[in-house]
Amino acid sequence: MLRWVRQQLGFDPPHQSDTRTIYIANRFPQHGHYVPQKFADNRIISSKYTVWNFVPKNLFEQFRRIANFYFLIIFLVQLMIDTPTSPITSGLPLFFVITVTAIKQGYEDWLRHKADNEVNGAPVYVVRSGGLVKTRSKNIRVGDIVRVAKDETFPVDLVLLSSDRVDGSCHVTTASLDGETNLKTHIAVPETAVLQSVANLDKLVAVIECQQPEADLYRFVGRITVSHQTEEIVRPLGPESLLLRGARLKNTKEIFGVAVYTGMETKMALNYKSKSQKRSAVEKSMNSFLIIYLIILLFEAILSTILKYAWQAEEKWDEPWYNEKTEHERNSSKILRFISDFLAFLVLYNFIIPISLYVTVEMQKFLGSFFIGWDLDLYHEETNQRAQVNTSDLNEELGQVEYVFTDKTGTLTENEMQFRECSINGIKYQEVNGKLTPEGFSEDSPDGNRHSLMKEEELFLKAVCLCHTVQINTDQTDGADGPWHANGIATPLEYYASSPDEKALVEAASRVGVVFTGTSGDTMEVKSLGKPERYKLLHVLEFDPNRRRMSVIVESPSGEKLLFTKGAESSILPRSKSGEIDKTRVHVDEFALKGLRTLCVAYRRFTPEEYQEIGKRLHEARTALQQREERLADVFNFIERDLELLGATGVEDKLQEKVQETIEALRLAGIKVWVLTGDKHETAVSVSLSCGHFHRTMNILELVQHKSDSTCAEQLRQLAKRIKEDHVIQHGLVVDGTSLSLALREHEKLFMEVCKNCSAVLCCRMAPLQKAKVVRLLKTSPEKPITLAIGDGANDVSMIQEAHVGIGIMGKEGRQAVRNSDYAIARFKFLSKLLFVHGHFYYIRIATLVQYFFYKNVCFITPQFLYQFFCLFSQQTLYDSVYLTLYNICFTSLPVLIYSLFEQHVHPHVLQSKPVLYRDISKNAHLGFKPFLYWTILGFFHAFVFFYGSYLLMGEDTSLLGNGQMFGNWTFGTLVFTVMVITVTMKMALETHFWTWINHFVTWGSIVFYFIFSLFYGGIIWPFLHTQDMYFVFVQLLSSGSAWFAIILIVVACLFLDVVKKVLYRHLQPTSTEKAQLTEASSGINCLDSMCCFSDGETACTSLRRMLERLMGTCSLTRVNRSWSSSDPFYANDRSILTLSTMDSPTC
């Protein structure tokens, strides 16, 4: 119970030891001094709250916001001292905002609890007491032996003990963890692999020692000690032995495994880690505005307090005959009275801070984010993938991007590899009709039509067929991609690989005669020109990004021990001592210039003594519990040396569709594009030129292959000088990983200066953390530009998390980038629509929403301040407390919310076809100091007109009511309030460019609702109200013709100047966006009413559209006349739900 309480409060202590000891089947030692370790249970908890901590935790999070905390203080002040307004005026809006937010967050958490309960209650089978016991997933303990059947997901992280196969192997797919759909092979240690029955497993006595839980999916260090008769056998355990929770068992009837990590300690759960909170520029501006308005509030309260005491310096005003002080008031401390009056004025003016702003912004972001997922232009039909929003808090940041950092492979390219060329023994070859043909020979030439392979060619192809992690799908159906052909013989083999390069190479080898036919236990089978050969797989030296290569050690049919290695040329060529090294290096550079991805292939023969030494070193390194990775790296380097170079391969990765147009559009929008890739220099430059990142006319500057600080600094100075001297030409910069690390170490400022003067930057040979460093460098530069990172692989995650906005591509390199991103799209080309349309709209909408909120609250509270000059600063309120409470909640909230969801000041197609319009909103243009000052001054101006207009027209003549009654202070206040509600609502209408029936309904409906509510509120005596100052006031006001005249006159006077200003600015100083609006109007884009449009021209809500057309009398399909055609470069097939526009069949 105590541990549960500690868990709930977050005080559960961390693991004390670096390793954990697990007794299989929980057979603990019998000696008395053993203390079992405590492990987490197997419950998955993705929820944020519990029943016990929901209220305190949620309230704490909400009151961390400035506005909420401020209103709480005001509410407490109202409770403690005598203030002019009721505590309800502050308490009710605060309660409403807190309650709505709590309900939203509580509902979301309830859904998470529901999902958790489904997972935790799933049935599983566990070996206990010599038999299989059915239990719930949450009841699994560390040490339990669990049985998992075919196509089931693993309920915990298991170490594989045995499977239905003799060799103890099984196949799994980790698509739900990292998106990789290939089958991965996992192997049990030989001592447990033979235990295939429950009875045998129940007799197993073994202990596992392994590392404590960590998030890395691909790392696991442990060892198993099996007690066999009188001896103890120790075997290493690595990632190949660990079956991860969430992965699925494939092509295997059943497996048994022992639970090593459970519940929130599984690798899947540890990867739930919450990303660092990103805050948008708009949110930062909003907080700055709040502070400015707090200063205005304090100034008004202090000024009012000082003026009150200045006025009361005269005796006749200090204690007038009609308001004599009590004895207690006369004797009270002046300081206390001053503080009390100051707090009272603070309460009176507190509504200048818009409490409902936060909740409105949250609703706008949450609801607005659905438009991205609904946008059919961001839907990829081939993969059936829609755009995905993981973080709605950054919607408006999409409209502020200044730098785009993009990965190359899988982001700009398809990540679909096709074998093109290879170099074997210094001779270049191409594949022609399933045959390897030397360059320069055609199929018809004598040497080009060969049916056999030379010795070097065969060895090269065997190396390609043996050195990989490719799997064969044994469950394939006729609907597979199709058989490969090896010398005309169809082979029904379908390959799966985590690396598309490997798959392309194995497929190419099979087409030219050397076919990889699969693995059986530790045997790899290869058919060379139809002749089967078996190679025993002795060791796999796994690929890692530091070595940039992978190797296998095999035993050939003749008993020879061979090492086959493949990897980047920078990691293979320096380790090669023989072979055609120089010729191959030239060929690799030629392949790279063509934009091909290159790999070098080499091999080494071992003597029996050498192999014995290697085997011993590998076993020691793999069974080490401490520093296993470092020891393995040393052993791998020892093994992978003195290589004999066989050749190199060139694989093509095709560019994605419309990449060139998208990059050009980004450049027109004023966005700089940086490509960050791990590929070699020549390949990266070639792809940059082909995708339009670099132009042929661009002056390409290089900062590559520097080994020392001094040479790097000298080169940077020369580049800076060249840019200054030749400032007319556009420059592109190429930098490699080693030079970059030198530049960032000592010469960061100079490097940034060079980069900022270049139109395009290409960074090649980049490690994942270097990508993040580059993003951080730009992010923290003095200009503080908004950055966006886009990538598709696990190596892009750090870059995606570092940038202001991270976008994952749903590619073929797993789902890690998508899981860690803020937004996910299927193709790079969708980036233009995401930024130029969605980003533009979201920014305009929220910028107007924020400033309008401050404007309407200035309009609301300034007349209250002015009124104090006419009531001797007695803190008399101008408005009734109900009006104070409902102004922000009911009367003026909906029009701005609907505006912030649907506003389209320019048609989406125009925004996308004219990327230059994006520049109009860059650098937070609509939320800068000038727009903020304009809206604030406008608010004060309108407030002065409301108050003094009403005072001049109605205040002097107090007998204007129809029944001869005099105007009272409540009637005057209601007149000001009525003018204000109408004016601020009409102001929102003036800002709206895109009118839907919803806009009409909420705009005019808000005004009508105010009138109806006021009539009911003032026209009936409500028994639950203590006082009813407003009884019959509104009815009397509306019965006066002069009051109606005053309302119309003041509203027109307020808005007239605003309209004149807009007209003058549009004609004298129009922005690019306003020019586009004029062009749009003249081109006939005037029919924007339907909700969704599909490729055949029919809408999904035709009946609703026709009903609205009949109601509004507008819009007919015959009047639609678009100025663009299907030949336009950007999304002619405009079928977005966001466009809300009717489309004829040819265009849709």
What are 301-337's pLDDT values in tens digits? 899 888 888 877 676 666 665 666 666 666 667 788 7
What are 661-713's pLDDT values in tens digits? 898 899 899 899 999 887 767 667 777 877 888 876 788 888 887 777 788 88
pLDDT greater than 80 at residue 1120: no
**Largest interatomic CA distance in the chain:** 125
What are 288-303's pLDDT values in tens digits? 888 888 889 889 889 9
What are 747-779's pLDDT values in tens digits? 888 888 888 888 889 988 777 778 888 888 888
Angle between helix 87-120 and helix 356-368 axes, rounded to 10 deg: 40
Q: How confident is the model at residue 1023 (pLDDT cuts 50, 70, 90)?
A: low
pLDDT score recorded for residue 474: 59
CB 774 within 8 A of CB 405: yes
Numbers of helices and strands, H then E, in the chain: 40, 37
- CB-hemisphere CA count at 13 Å for 867? 26
What's the mean pLDDT in 501-522? 84
Strand partners of residue 637 = none
Is the pLDDT higher at 853 or at 1117? Answer: 853
What's the mean pLDDT in 1046-1065? 89
pLDDT score recorded for residue 1137: 33
* 550-557 contacts at long range (C-beta below 8 A, 24 or more positions apart): 550/467, 550/468, 550/469, 551/467, 551/636, 551/639, 551/640, 552/466, 552/467, 553/606, 553/611, 553/614, 553/639, 554/466, 554/524, 557/533
pLDDT score recorded for residue 319: 64
pLDDT score recorded for residue 1089: 33
What's the mean pLDDT in 341-348? 82
pLDDT greater than 70 at residue 569: yes
Q: How confident is the model at residue 592 (pLDDT cuts 50, 70, 90)?
A: confident
CB 987 within 8 A of CB 1055: yes
Coarse DSSP helix, strand, coil percentages of the chain, rounded to the nearest 5 percent: 50, 20, 35
* Ranges 74-88, 840-854, 1078-1092, 1131-1145, most confident: 840-854
pLDDT greater than 50 at residue 992: yes
Please give the mean pLDDT across all residues of the chain: 79
What are 211-238's pLDDT values in tens digits? 888 877 778 888 999 987 778 888 888 8
For the ranges 851-865, 918-932, 980-994, 1030-1044, the lowest mean pLDDT is seen at: 1030-1044
CA–CA gap between residue 259 and residue 126 (Å, rounded): 10
Name residue 515's amino acid. Answer: V
Report the catalytic residues.
407
pLDDT score recorded for residue 452: 65
Picking from 508, 497, 503, the residue whose alpha carbon sits closest to that of residue 424 is 508
What are 875-928's pLDDT values in tens digits? 788 888 788 888 888 888 899 999 999 999 888 888 888 888 888 888 888 888
Q: How confident is the model at residue 1130 (pLDDT cuts 50, 70, 90)?
A: very low
pLDDT greater than 90 at residue 252: no
CB 144 within 8 A of CB 127: yes
Q: How confident is the model at residue 34 (pLDDT cuts 50, 70, 90)?
A: low
- Cβ within 8 Å of residue 152, ≥6 positions away: 248, 249
Helix (H) or strand (E) holding 618: helix 608-623
Picking from 46, 171, 172, 216, the residue whose alpha carbon sits closest to that of residue 794 is 216
Name residue 1119's amino acid. Answer: R
* Ranges 28-32, 406-410, 802-806, most confident: 802-806
What's the mean pLDDT in 344-353? 81
Is the pLDDT higher at 967 or at 262? Answer: 262
SS3 for 1069? coil
Angle between helix 455-466 and helix 500-511 axes, rounded to 10 deg: 140
Buried b (16+ CB within 10 A) or exposed e, 967-992: beebbbbbbbbbbbbbbbbbbbbebb
CB 432 within 8 A of CB 438: no
Strand partners of residue 606 = 561
- CB-hemisphere CA count at 13 Å for 552? 20
Helix (H) or strand (E) holding 405: strand 403-406
Q: What percent of the chain has pLDDT over 70?
A: 81
What is the pTM (predicted TM-score) of this model?
Answer: 0.70
